[in-house]
Amino acid sequence: MLSGVFGLEQVVESGSLSFVVIDGSTIQEPGATETTYRLHIAIDLINLRLRQVEVSTDKVGESLDHYALASGDVVLIDRGYNQPKSLVPFIDRGGDIVLRYNAHSMNLYEDDGQGGMMKIDWEKRLQSLGKQTGAIPVYLCHDKKRIACTLHAVPLPAGKAAQARRKAKLRAQNKGRM
């Protein structure tokens, strides 16, 4: 299927890795004003097949704990899954993660030069890149475990960056911060 979509002559369909896209969504019953249920879904990215679907109550949030994942799985997840308590055990079992990072929900750390860790100041760190992309070595920490990772920083195009600044300013004004 992917060979036709991407015009590839050969697609490897077997091997030790399995690429899985995971996401969640909310469901409202007719007439409801708030979330009634949550949908948790995993799709095999190579074969474009559903791998797992679960419907839960509105009290259950996004977490890798909902999914039957194994060693060799590479999961692609959104920022709602930025939870070290579920990411670290999955990595320990031989899984790999590609995620959209949310600095407001999960801290990442860097070496402090003295054998310890310090929380990354993202505003300062990203400003040091200017308008360049960057691969930043970071650590994901949970309990006493420290896992080396790489964060890929890609600047927004000028128009999107201006739009994001306007939205952030509006949110701050609505919360009485400006």
Q: pLDDT tens digit string along 117-146?
A: 999 999 999 999 988 999 999 999 999 899
State percent of the chain over pLDDT 70: 90
User: Token digits for 19?
Assistant: 């690429």
The pLDDT of residue 177 is 66
- Residue 82's DSSP bridge partners are none
User: Token digits for 35?
Assistant: 């979330």
CA dist., res. 91 & res. 64, Å (int): 11
Cβ atoms of 133 and 163 within 8 Å: the answer is no
Say if pTM beats, i.e. exceeds, 0.85: no
Amino acid at 2: L
Do 138 and 177 share a domain, yes or no? yes
pLDDT band at 174; cut points 50, 70, 90: confident
Do 98 and 117 share a domain, yes or no? no
pLDDT at 6 over 90: no
Question: How many other β-carbons are positioned within 10 Å of the β-carbon of residue 42?
Answer: 22
pLDDT band at 54; cut points 50, 70, 90: very high
The pLDDT of residue 85 is 94
Name the more confident of 63 and 4: 63
What lies within 8 Å, CB to CB, of 8 at 6+ separation is: 2
Do 144 and 86 share a domain, yes or no? no
Whose CA is closest to 107, among 134, 137, 140? 140
Give the residue numbers spanning the domain of 159.
107-178
Do 66 and 122 share a domain, yes or no? no
- From 103, 123, 149, give the residue that closes a domain: 103
The pLDDT of residue 15 is 66
- From 54, 81, 103, give the residue that closes a domain: 103
pLDDT band at 1; cut points 50, 70, 90: very low
Do 123 and 166 share a domain, yes or no? yes
The CA R_g of the chain, rounded to the nearest whole Å, is 19
- Residue 138's DSSP bridge partners are 149
10-44 tens-digit pLDDT? 555 556 899 999 999 999 999 999 999 999 999 99
pLDDT band at 168; cut points 50, 70, 90: confident
Whose CA is closest to 63, among 87, 44, 39, 45? 87
